[in-house]
Amino acid sequence: MKQTSIYQQSLQQLLADHPYIEDFLTSFGLEVTPGPESLEEYLRGLDLDQLEDLGIDQARLRQSLDDFLTGMLALQEPHDRVDALTIIGGQDKSGQPEALEITLKPGQVICIVGPTGSGKSRLLADIEWVAQGDTPTGRRILINGEVPDSKWRFSTEHKLVAQLSQNMNFVMDLSAEEFIRMHAESRLVPDPEEKVRQILAQANELAGERFTPQTPVTSLSGGQSRALMIADMAFLSKSPIALIDEIENAGIDRKKALDLLVKEEKIILMATHDPILALMGDRRLVIKNGGIAKIIESSQAERINLKQLEELDNRLLALRNRIRAGETLEQL
């Protein structure tokens, strides 16, 4: 729908078709009642003193509404596909060139390894910023083989990257269901209820301990929160790239979590020191002194060892569960 025609429609029609317009107006403290009056007439009828009390004026309100509608219409447009993300090397902290070019594709998992402070975050930030030689590393990022539109940098609707940070706290006082619904609504997904159901079910699959839709997000355990956020990222985030900062020690099924994101055709970049996660990746980027020093392809031998590592991990997990159940470990 054209933006200009929105102004001529009756409030009754508009509020029914686009409830977010009501959200917009009420967020400025304005009251709005559905009726035959058009949006244009409504805006023209607003009292100047009332607007001043609310800290806005006609011109700015209209400008904001225009910008808001543009953003909302953009959110409903199909997303640009990202079929390839290319990192073209710059230089490390000492100015040594990073002579490399790597292309990542949807469905691939790439691990980033290196000591704390080596420059992992800067690499993740270069990708998020779609650097064009304008960051301290001088790296360049191409999307689908081209220099991308700068909209990726600033648009909140079309974010290139969704970042799952190590910290999983919630500060909002909402149940898991209310929280995911609010997120779904902010993304204007077509069937929010179905999405909420899907995400909660999937999160319960990933988490060791079950939680209900009514559980407040603030009382979810570390593992449950992480499971919820991974499911949320898989089903609600349109961002084609997922950056994950460590999934270890979280009490969730990490393999299932990665498989879920891979299935959603995301490019997954994961900073990790965990041998199991590192071997689950297709490749590992080794960061040293601010630069990508090496790229290691997971070898056949490593993949075979992965099985052993997983067995080891399962044994530890079983022991952890026994401790949780109040048993002793006198017999291993």
User: Which residues bind to another protein, rule: CB under 8 A?
Assistant: 23-24, 27-29, 52, 54-57, 60, 63-64, 67-68, 70-71, 121, 125, 129, 134-136, 153-154, 156, 162-165, 167-172, 179-180, 182-183, 186-187, 225, 229, 232-233, 236-237
Q: Which is nearer to another protein, 128 or 253 (CB)?
A: 128
Min. distance of Cβ 80 from another protein in angstroms?
19
CA angle 27, 79, 190 (to 5 degrees): 55
Do 168 and 229 form a contact (C-beta atoms < 8 A)?
Answer: yes
Min. distance of Cβ 324 from another protein in angstroms?
24
**How many beta carbons lie within 10 A of that of residue 149, not counting itself?**
12
Q: Which is nearer to another protein, 248 or 327 (CB)?
A: 248
Min. distance of Cβ 298 from another protein in angstroms?
27
Q: Which is nearer to another protein, 62 or 322 (CB)?
A: 62
Question: Quick one: which of 207, 124, 131, 225 has its CA closest to 170?
Answer: 225
Min. distance of Cβ 172 from another protein in angstroms?
6
Q: Which is nearer to another protein, 16 or 172 (CB)?
A: 172
Min. distance of Cβ 285 from another protein in angstroms?
19
Q: Which is nearer to another protein, 54 or 317 (CB)?
A: 54
Do 264 and 242 form a contact (C-beta atoms < 8 A)?
Answer: no
Listing DSSP states for 255-287 in one string gives HHHHHHHHHTT-EEEEE---HHHHHHSSEEEEE
Min. distance of Cβ 85 from another protein in angstroms?
18
Helix (H) or strand (E) holding 163: strand 161-164
Q: Which is nearer to another protein, 23 or 327 (CB)?
A: 23
Min. distance of Cβ 25 from another protein in angstroms?
10
- Please tell me the distance from the alpha carbon of residue 186 to that of residue 200, in angstroms, as a whole number: 17
CA angle 236, 219, 241 (to 5 degrees): 25
- Please tell me the distance from the alpha carbon of residue 15 to that of residue 39, in angstroms, as a whole number: 10
Coil, strand, or helix at residue 147?
A: coil
Per-residue b/e over 188-203, b at no fewer than 16 CB within 10 Å? ebeebeebbebbbebb
Which residues, at least 6 apart from 195, have a Cβ–Cβ distance to it below 8 Å?
Answer: 180, 184, 189, 235, 236
Q: Which is nearer to another protein, 56 or 102 (CB)?
A: 56
